[in-house]
Amino acid sequence: MSQQELLIQVAKVLDQLGIAWVATGSIVSSIQGEPRSTHDVDLVVQFDASQQKQFCFEFQSPEFYLSDAAIAQAIRTQGMFNLLHISSGDKVDFWLLKNSEFDQARFARRMMFEVEPGSSIWITTPEDTIIQKLLWAKESGGSERQFIDALRVYEMQFSKLDQGYLTTWINRVDVANEWQRLQEIAKPLN
């Protein structure tokens, strides 16, 4: 199973179970900016204990590895859990939606993207992808990979970006230094 097929399968299950979700991370920055390989898919989900049993039923061994205990802990702590596709080694990281202002805002702004005819996924907007990547770069102590992902999305999406939204959230989430560096070296393509 390809990573795209895994994402589509997971998306269908989430939709069928009524679990709101959005793709984020490198999968989305590769769509909106410069493609790069990654072995995980990052999803933010609104997930609660009442959905756990049916969700686990959909992803059983031997094709998948999914821990009931990890899901329960993620629900308790607003943390994360993983789904592993055994034969490919690809995994999906499920991050529970947090109550932070930015997480709520980017989740509310999610948009549909058609990955192949008849299959669409929810993705973060380019603005939210940039902000989240800058946050991850800062939180990781300056991850160049996260910063470059943000830079490439900025360069590729420049003419479509809501600069007011970016400015507001850059200041609110305190990534002004990373933002300034990005703007100094960016070479917008449109």
Q: Is residue 158 located within the same domain as residue 173? A: yes
Q: Is residue 77 located within the same domain as residue 135? A: no
Residue 190 located in a structural domain: no
- Dig out the tokens for 42 from the structure: 């990052």
Q: How far apart are CA 3 and CA 21, in angstroms?
A: 17
pLDDT tens profile 154-185: 999 999 999 999 999 999 999 999 999 999 99
Q: Is residue 90 located within the same domain as residue 146? A: no
Query: How many structural domains does the chain have?
Result: 2
Cα angle 64-65-69, degrees, rounded to a multiple of 5 = 140
CATH number of the domain residue 70 falls in = 3.30.460
Contacts 24+ apart (CB under 8 A), 75-78: 75/47, 75/48, 75/49
| Cα–Cα nearest to 143, from 175, 100, 166 | 175
Residue 22 located in a structural domain: yes
Give the residue numbers spanning the domain of 113. 3-123
Q: Is residue 76 located within the same domain as residue 109? A: yes
Q: Is residue 72 located within the same domain as residue 149? A: no
The pLDDT-based confidence of 142 (bands split at 50, 70, 90) is low
- Dig out the tokens for 38 from the structure: 């990654």
The pLDDT-based confidence of 190 (bands split at 50, 70, 90) is low
Tell whether the model's pLDDT for residue 37 goes beyond 90: no
